[in-house]
Amino acid sequence: MVDAENAGDAEVADGSGTGPAGSLGIATDDPLEAEIMRATYRALVERGYNDLTVQAIADEFPKSKSLLYYHYDGKDDLLASFLGFATDRFRREIEVEIDDPEAQLRALVDRLVPESLDDDEYRVQVALLELRSETPHNDRFREQYAVVDDTLKSVIADVLRRGVESGAFAADADPDTEAEVLVSLLTGVRTRRLSTREGFPIGGVRTALDAHLDRLLADPAAGR
């Protein structure tokens, strides 16, 4: 689920310190890990999942290749670690980014379903969908995707819970159930978007997502 946006952020944040995570003062990750993850991101953009090799990642890595081989056990390990890295980064950014639950929820949706996808983001999302389609055959990816989905669900449920407490969301919204719906909804939008790309009705889908979020809000006129 978590991917290009986050991967892109990871790249910026750890590379230059000027990205959203850096500017928000999030504790930086291990710089070596971040550099390897950035190389993995670049290699995914360039090669996609099927043509990815450890060598392609090493080619994007400016330091000694032996560091990369020493820390990771092959392509699958690098990819699973990349997913975990991006997921963790995404979680921390969403958690600290904004304090208002409604704004936080809308920011999360914006991040996962942006109005436009640039080429790099598109390519990495495609690679990660390929990786997801490997989960039935690959234990490591399956475990990692379970973490991705659980993390996203728990982030959303926490935001909803705080929103219900603060009165921003409808009091009868069950945070866990609504989070389950929203994770699937966002996963589905992202999956469908990749299948059609230019043909994808992003405007209509964003409207639909907004309508769905509006329903979660406690506006008495909208009710529930």
Site residues for its own copies, 98-137, by CB under 8 A, read 122, 126, 129-130, 132-133, 135-137
Query: How distant, in Å, are the alpha carbons of 18, 54, 97, 147, 157 from that of 154?
Result: 28, 32, 16, 10, 5
End-to-end CA, the chain: 29
Q: By CB under 8 A, tell whether 177 contacts its own copies.
A: yes
Q: By CB under 8 A, tell whether 62 contacts its own copies.
A: no
Q: What CA–CA distance (Å, rounded) separates 112 from 108?
A: 6
Q: What CA–CA distance (Å, rounded) separates 90 from 152?
A: 9
Residue (of 46, 64, 66) closest to 56 by Cα position: 46
Minimum CB–partner distance for residue 66 and its own copies (Å): 32
Side chain identity at 181, as an amino acid letter? V
Site string for its own copies, 13-52 (x = CB under 8 A): -----------------------------------x----
Total of residues contacting its own copies (CB under 8 A)? 46
Q: Which is nearer to its own copies, 103 or 208 (CB)?
A: 208
Q: Which of 47, 106, 162, 212 binds its own copies (CB under 8 A)?
A: 212
CB atoms within 10 A of CB 171: 9
Q: Which of 66, 99, 116, 199 binds its own copies (CB under 8 A)?
A: 199
Q: Which is nearer to its own copies, 102 or 187 (CB)?
A: 187
Q: Which is nearer to its own copies, 98 or 129 (CB)?
A: 129
Q: Which is nearer to its own copies, 21 or 179 (CB)?
A: 179
Q: What CA–CA distance (Å, rounded) separates 47 from 56?
A: 8
As separate numbers, helices (DSSP H) first and strands (DSSP E) second, the chain gives 11, 0
Q: What CA–CA distance (Å, rounded) separates 40 from 100?
A: 34
Q: By CB under 8 A, tell whether 202 contacts its own copies.
A: no
Angle between helices 175-196 and 119-133 (to 10 degrees): 110
Q: By CB under 8 A, tell whether 154 contacts its own copies.
A: no
Q: Which of 191, 217, 218, 219 binds its own copies (CB under 8 A)?
A: 191
Site residues for its own copies per CB under 8 A: 48, 122, 126, 129-130, 132-133, 135-137, 142, 145-146, 149, 174, 176-178, 180-181, 183-189, 191-192, 194-197, 199, 201, 204-205, 207-209, 211-212, 215, 222-224
